[in-house]
Homo-oligomer: A and B are copies of this chain.
Amino acid sequence: MNEFDFLKKLKERARNRGSSVGLVCGIGDDAAVFKLLDRSDVVISTDLLLEDIDFRRDTTRPDLLGHKALAVSLSDIAAMGARPRWSLLSIAVTRDVWESEFLDQFYRGFFQLAERFGVKLIGGDLSRTDSKIVVDSVVLGECPTEREVFRSGAKPGDQIYVTGFLGDAAAGLRLLERGARVHQNATGRRETNSVDHLLLRQLQPEPRVGWGILLGEQRLASSMIDISDGLSSDLHHLCEESGVGALVEASSLPIDTVVTEICGRRALDPLMLALHGGEDYELLFTVAPENVARLPKRVDGIAATRIGEIKKASEGVRISEGSKVWELKPGGWEHFSE
């Protein structure tokens, strides 16, 4: 199959999936064209995923990679309080990957996630590479004007929350590094197999789309960011943009017992994973005191946990453990650290 035949097939698959409301022109022209609802803003995010930097072919599967490529961008859109609508997916592969089942499985994982949120594939780019796989994922969302949630809106006294659990993805990465591999038919349910569960939290992260839309539309969050670099780093980003400080309570951090158990058996520190481990793709957000009562307990079965409070900038970003309080330094992922 040459690339034009492949794109024709992809166009057919894309045509029958996701919502076409507002779509003027999808795959097959020089660019994609779409309309917005009245009084809406466009929210757009782009993420590069590179082989051997962001993923390894021997520790993941093509369908999980297709899922993750979309998930990381959906997470960015959720962190703006917006609703994801459109996606553009670019991929460069080697000739042997091109001639394998890789792309079929990759797009299967991609479309399964896209469909759950009504996201439509409207474009992208396909290229050859000599060595490593390159993926770029673009997601566009829509948001009623002035309902966006920025990193910059936190105020002293606001309560700090995170969705789900922290440190799962980092625990999963440690397991992968020590040789664990996800079983072919793993469901990801933690009750069934806790190792598979953590591996899939790393390889197949679940973007908190429902939480994001709710926090934006109902004006519940004063600021928000998704946790991709790690709680400590991302909280610093949020505090810097908002011009505030923060106090996190270590005992409040939502750490799954599955992580505690795995860590115990492998001499890992669950608190360090929760604070500095990246790629959880949970949402970190702040809520003004008067809005706390309006916050739902769960969205799509996922709870949000209060982990601390926004303080004045002069107080810095700190963490308390019992009676001790110390500075919380950013310790997450950085591509070019000194």
Task: List the interface of chain A (C-beta within 8 A of B).
Answer: 1-4, 6, 24-25, 28-36, 41-48, 50, 52-54, 75-77, 79-80, 82, 86, 88, 90, 92, 95, 98, 122-132, 134, 136, 138, 140-141, 143, 145, 148, 150-152, 224-226, 241, 334-338
Contact = CB atoms under 8 A, between A and B. Distances in A.
B151 A28 contact: yes
B28 A43 contact: no
A140 B29 contact: no
Given A30-B77, A30-B224, A127-B335, 9 more contacts: A30-B226, A31-B141, A46-B125, A48-B90, A50-B92, A50-B127, A53-B130, A125-B136, A128-B335
Contact of A48 (B29, B132, B134): B134
Contacts of A338: 2
A46 B46 CA distance: 10
A211 to B, nearest CB: 14
Contacts of A152: 29
A46 B123 contact: yes
A224 B33 CA distance: 14
A46 B88 contact: yes
A187 to B, nearest CB: 29
Given A92-B53, A128-B53, A148-B24, A76 B31 contact: yes
Nearest to A44: B32
10 contacts: A2-B334, A24-B41, A32-B45, A48-B92, A48-B125, A48-B127, A48-B136, A50-B127, A131-B132, A134-B134
Contacts of A4: 334
A98 B86 CA distance: 32
Copies in the complex: 2
Contacts of A80: 29-31, 33
Contacts of A336: 1-3, 6, 95, 98, 128
B334 A150 contact: no
A298 B225 CA distance: 49
Closest 8 CB pairs of A and B: A31-B45, A30-B79, A136-B136, A128-B335, A30-B76, A48-B125, A31-B76, A46-B88
Contacts of A95: 336
Contact of A32 (B43, B50, B92): B43
Contact of A31 (B24, B77, B145): B77
Contact of A136 (B46, B77, B130): B46
B334 A90 contact: no
A191 to B, nearest CB: 32
Contacts of A123: 44-46
Contacts of A24: 41, 148
B25 A33 contact: no
A42 B50 contact: no
A38 to B, nearest CB: 9
A42 to B, nearest CB: 5
Given A53-B92, A88-B46, A150 B25 contact: yes
Given A48-B90, A138-B138, A29 B125 contact: no
